[in-house]
Structure 1
Amino acid sequence: MLSVLIWVAVMAQVLVAEPTVVVVGGGLAGLSASLEIITEGGRVILVEGENNTGGNSAKASSGINGAGTDVQEKLGIRDSPDLLEKDTLSAGDNENDKKLVKILAENSADAVQFLRNVGVDLTDVNLCGGHSVPRTHWIPSPKEGRPIPAGFEIMKRLRTRLNEIQEKNPESFRLMTQTKMTDIIRKEGKVIGVEVVSVEGEKSQITGDAVILATGGFSADRSADGLLTEYGKDILDFPSTNGPFARGEGVKIARSLGAKLIGMDRIQIHPTAFVDPKDPSAGTKFLAAEALRGKGALLINSDGKRFGNELGRRDYTTRRILNHAKPIEESFQGGSSGRHAAVMLMSEATIDAFGRPAFNFYAIVKKFFVKYNNSDELAKALGVDGSVVKSTLDDYKDIFDKKKEDPFGKKVFPVSAISPTEPIYAAIVVPAIHYTMGGLQIDENARVVDEQGNPIIGLYAAGEVTGGVHGSNRLGGNSLLECVVFGRIAGHSGFSAAREASRSEL
């Protein structure tokens, strides 16, 4: 009798394939979820609307937060998950879902290690606005050669790892690009798949044992009936740093299924997006990485004066630009096309700290920065008295050198001050729509919940498609962190639930 039971158990494992999870969205959250599922023994069908994976994650430039990592320890930086949690709640005005923030912070060091384990060199740490200590891990800039953007390298390494797994076990991972989700399929109260349409217009259904939405935010959804129009009418005229694919499809489709939305009107305007002198009025802007200010870049207005703490929260710095920096005329580097704008200043020392190859991409390839031999040349280009810019730099240098109290409340002064007599590099920056803090409400297991607060069985979500983690304002470096932490949680939860369900049916 015992041998018969053993035979039955073995045959059950042979006959029942490990569950398949459908992941929609090929950004960092989607790839993190996919790798987690496959690592635990499951299968993944990854649906991506564009012709390749990456999304906005590939454009991320400032890095990923980690609190209490071994990298910080080696650099002598004292940090903890509790401190990251505190900074995240402070940045979000305590509107955050506190349970999710705690999970985010407690898993941050492991998230950094997860990426290092797939070959991402995150051994440099930067200080971004709103942080108490340096904790934004990014890739050290090479002394020469091409720079390696953090987001691009992260996505490349994860995709490489998934490709390696697929070569060894083709059944474990299937990628469908240029395939857009049009609906979510639910049967007998459980989500079992998605309806899709190919680039050729062919409609089909993809079914599995669970679905994970990792479709991103809605920062480019400007249509008349789009989510930006519905929740952010007053900011529609701002440019965006997002690709045109950020249309909030996951949010809209899940809402039609009864999913609860949270924080939808919380849309982040990033204070520093470059104005391209060749096309100042372009609606899509290239992000001026927060790491630039983290390495000592200053912001002045067109009058030649500082107007705020360069390392303040993103919403604070945006307000300061809108209230204390008027539009810049065409006579200075092509102007800002009527938008309120600041001038970002860098010196040779701050450039070296940021990474010269990365800076050269901005300055030489993109031509965002212009070099001036001293503050007098810069002042002349701005059309202001030379003494104004000189006084601005001298005052800041005095605060920096003598550790005086900054009138704008700046507490940390990276690298060095800029001297009026040294070469100064200047670029025009403007606020731009960057991130949507709102989205689908999830619980601590990354399950999407309905309007009554009950989990929608079989449906999970991670990344910018969700809301609650960031509150009213996202802390720089927390977007990639959220994608890894909750992407992995969604992968684990979705696969585990599907496996239990399939085995209970035996």
Structure 2
Amino acid sequence: MKRRALLAAMPLLAAMPMRVLASAPEIWDRQYDVVVLGSGGAGLAAALSAAARGLTVAVFEKNARIGGDTLNSSGFFNAAGLSGTKDKPIDHAREMIELGEGLNDPELVRIFTENCPGTFKWLQSLGMQFEDKPYKIYGTKEFRSYRPNRPRGTGYIHALGEASLKAGVSIELGCTAVDIYHVPETRQVLGVLIEKDGRSFSVRARRGIVLATGGFGANAEMLRRYAPELSALQHDSTPGATGDGHRLAERAGADLVNMQFVEIVPGGPVSIPYVIRLDIYPDRMVMVNARGERFVDERSDRKTLGEAILAQPGGIAYTITDNETVSSSDILDQKYLHQARHAGVVVRARNWAELAEKLSVPRHALERTLARACAGRTGQTSEGPCRRIVRRAPFWAQKIELHIHVTLGGVRINSKAQVLDKNGVPISGLYAAGEIVGNLHGAVRLGGNGVSSAVVFGRIAGENI
């Protein structure tokens, strides 16, 4: 596949019914050492790492373009201990364990946080470029999130995709994995049945399969089953995030854990076909309700923030920031924000009084709230201090529409990225990385851990398969 064709086009829809086949075909249609299902950051990192060992690798992608949810992510990469910061991998791990509520695997967390700096440098060796200084972003406490020079997650997909093609990786689009072949007595995974354009073909995976199929945020049925209280919310996942890998893994005997945990974040309405966020930098924005009152410490974890927004009268809340913050966003975010303003989804005002009028919130309450926040005085002990926010006109605001951003549940893996059964025994030939992994984040995911965990465990899977 040529590079231009690989990076083009729009995603396809629809999940396919699945089963796990016990009997392997007498003659395989295709054979590779490694088969990777999914072409986001996790899948491409796994493919490239396996190919670097001299293995033949094929990537099968359900959508009509590569990238998965990595392509649409904010792009930040968490790595503690770089740039001379005091923050170390052990601090990164400690924060994850605290947020995980005892539901993430401490050894997996350790492996992840210790591998983040090295994976960051590996990405740089592939041509990825990052800004020098780390940010503190939505849902984090420390400055450990590095922003790529290219907008959002596009840089990862370009770098990993091009390197994979140069390494001889086969990448095929529009392919849905509908069955897994395995040996019933040993559960050893042998290969996969792929469907494309109404035709099926069998693929032998001599060393194994890497599941990098993402989450299930686009699967309404699975959301109703596992997180019914949030199932009515819109999502910002790719249409292909329908839990295909989860169902294949479960039928192969995998242990699915933490399926009830779903991450929700602010976004825009479904009427616009792109993601808008004014809340990425917690020290540069403030959230208010319909009364013009601040109701939460914006530096809180994502679970706390989501619950606080849902609890507001009428479920109405707004994110407010200033022009300095918008101007410092990456170029794609700025483009979408200006488009959203012209569509009437985002408002811009010359001063706080005009902003209150455009948001239809009490003027004096909003002015009082913003003045206190900018001065670092909050007035309530439940709110944290704020600094250097909404200082420079014009001011920007959007009504918060909560989105399902990430599904945190999935397969249980070990430190080698091997998928485990319900007894904690590895399923021979089955590996996983990315959002399909359910025992890394626990109950709450730390902001900036999405892309970094995908690439870290993608590398680990490719190195161990």
- Match status 1:304 vs 2:292: yes
What root-mean-square deviation, in Å, do the aligned CA atoms of Structure 1 and Structure 2 show? 2.2
Q: Quick one: which of 63, 73, 78 aligns to 1:60? A: 73
In the other structure, the counterpart of 1:230 is 225
Deviation at 1:78, TM superposition (A): 1.7
1:426 equivalent among 381, 391, 397: 397
CA distance in structure 1 between the partners assigned to 2:267 and 2:338 by the alignment:
17
Counterpart of 1:108 in structure 2 is 116
Residue 465, structure 1, aligned to residue 436, structure 2:
yes
Q: Please state if 1:350 is matched with 2:325.
A: yes
Residue 122 (structure 2) pairs with residue 127 (structure 1) = no
Q: Which amino acid counterpart does residue 254 of structure 1 have in structure 2?
A: A
Please say which of residues 466-475 and 302-311 is displaced more in the overlay.
302-311
Alignment CA distance shift 1:461-1:385 (3 Å): closer
Match of 1:380 among 357, 380, 390: 357
Which blocks of at least 5 consecutive residues in structure 1 are unaligned?
A: 1-17, 141-147, 167-172, 328-339, 495-506
Q: Is the 8 A contact 1:91 1:475 kept in 2?
A: yes
Letter of the structure 1 residue corresponding to residue 459 of structure 2: R
More displaced, 230-239 or 375-384?
A: 375-384
Post-superposition Cα deviations, 1:397-434, rounded to whole Å, max 9, x if no partner, equal: 2217xxx8873443574xx2324x84211111222111
Deviations 1:233-291 (A, max 9, x none): 22111111112211001110111121111111111122x11236xx3xx7x87252653
Query: Residues 289 and 85 from structure 1, CA distance in 2 versus in 1: closer, same or farther, beyond 3 angstroms?
Result: farther
Which shifted more, 366-375 or 30-39? 366-375
1:81 aligns with 2:89: yes
Q: How much has 1:295 moved relative to structure 2? A: 5.5
Give, in whole Å, the separation in 2 of the partners of 1:256 and 1:206.
Answer: 18
Secondary structure of 1:433's counterpart equals: strand
Which residue is 2:240 aligned to?
245
Tell me which amino acid in the other structure corresponds to 2:318. Answer: V
Which letter maps to 1:217?
G
The answer for unaligned runs of 5 or more in structure 2 is: 1-30
Q: 1:32 aligns with which of 45, 50, 59?
A: 45
Distance 1:295 1:43 in 2: 47
Change (3 A) 1:354 1:249: same
Residue 384 of structure 2 corresponds to 410
Question: Is 2:180 the partner of 1:184?
Answer: yes
The total of aligned residue pairs comes to: 428
Tell me the equivalent position of 1:193: 191
Q: 1:417 to 1:267 in 2, by over 3 A?
A: closer
Question: What percent identity do the matched residue pairs reach?
Answer: 28
| 1:248 aligned partner, one-letter code | G
1:130 Cα deviation from its structure 2 partner: 4.1
- Corresponding residue for residue 267 of structure 2: 273
For residues 342 and 122 of structure 1, the distance between their equivalents in structure 2, rounded to whole angstroms, comes to 33
In the TM superposition, what whole-angstrom CA distance separates every residue of 1:371-393 from its partner, at most 9, and x where no partner exists?
Answer: 11111111222334321111111
CA contact (8 A) 1:275 1:285 kept: no
For residue 135 of structure 1, report the CA deviation from its aligned partner: 0.5
Q: CA 1:491/1:359 → structure 2, altered by over 3 Å: closer, same or farther?
A: closer
More helix as a share of residues:
1
1:309-355 deviation line (CA, Å, top 9, x unaligned): 1121111111111112x34xxxxxxxxxxxx2321112122223435
Alpha carbons 2:235, 2:404 under 8 Å: kept:
yes
Deviation of the 1:90 alpha carbon: 1.6
Could you tell me which residue of structure 2 aligns to residue 393 of structure 1?
370
AA in 1 matched with 2:151: P
Q: Distance in 2 between matches of 1:19 and 1:181?
A: 15
- Between the aligned partners of 1:285 and 1:341, the Cα distance in structure 2 is 21
Residue in 2 that maps onto 1:502? none
Larger Rg: 1
Name the SS for the 1:23 alignment partner: strand
Q: What TM-score, normalized to structure 2?
A: 0.87
CA distance in 2, matches of 1:412, 1:125: 19
Deviation, structure 1 residue 304: 1.3
Distance 1:471 1:44, change over 3 A: same
1:26-70 per-residue CA deviation (whole Å, 9 max, x = no partner) reads: 11110000110111221101111111211111001141100112x
Q: Tell me the residue number matched to 1:206.
A: 203
Alignment partner, residue 95 of structure 1: 103
More displaced 10-residue stretch of structure 1: 226-235 or 302-311: 226-235
Q: Supply the distance in 1 between the matched residues of 2:454 and 2:226 (Cα, whole angstroms).
A: 23
Q: What is the one-letter code of the residue matched to 1:344?
A: T
1:490 to 2:461 alignment: yes
Which consecutive aligned stretches of 4+ in structure 1 deviate over 6 angstroms post-superposition? none
Contact 1:341 1:431 in 2 (8 A): no
C-alpha deviation, 1:294, in angstroms: 3.6
User: Residue 12 of structure 1 aligns with which residue?
Assistant: none
22-31 or 180-189: bigger deviation: 180-189
Check 1:213–1:289 CA distance in 2 against 1; reply closer, same or farther (3 A cut).
Answer: farther
Q: Matched residues in 2 for 1:466 and 1:241: separation? A: 19
8 Å contact kept, 1:274–1:429: yes
Which residue is equivalent to 2:10? none
Contact 1:294–1:311 (CA<8 Å) still a contact in 2? yes
Distance in 1 (CA, whole Å) between partners of 2:164 and 2:173 is 15
**Structure 1 residues 207-244: Cα deviation after superposition (integer angstroms, max 9, x where no partner):** 0211111111111111xxx3222211221111111122
- 1:473 aligned partner, one-letter code: V
Q: Are 1:137 and 2:134 matched, yes or no?
A: no
Letter in 2 for 1:365: Q
User: Aligned partners of 2:446 and 2:39: how far apart in 1?
Assistant: 23
**CA deviation vs aligned residue, 1:421-477 (integer Å, no higher than 9, x gap):** 842111112221111111011111111111222111111111111111000011111
The alignment's TM-score, normalised by the length of structure 1, stands at 0.80
Q: Structure 1 pair 244/130, CA: closer, same or farther in 2 (3 Å)?
A: closer
Task: Name the SS of the counterpart of 1:399 in structure 2.
Answer: coil
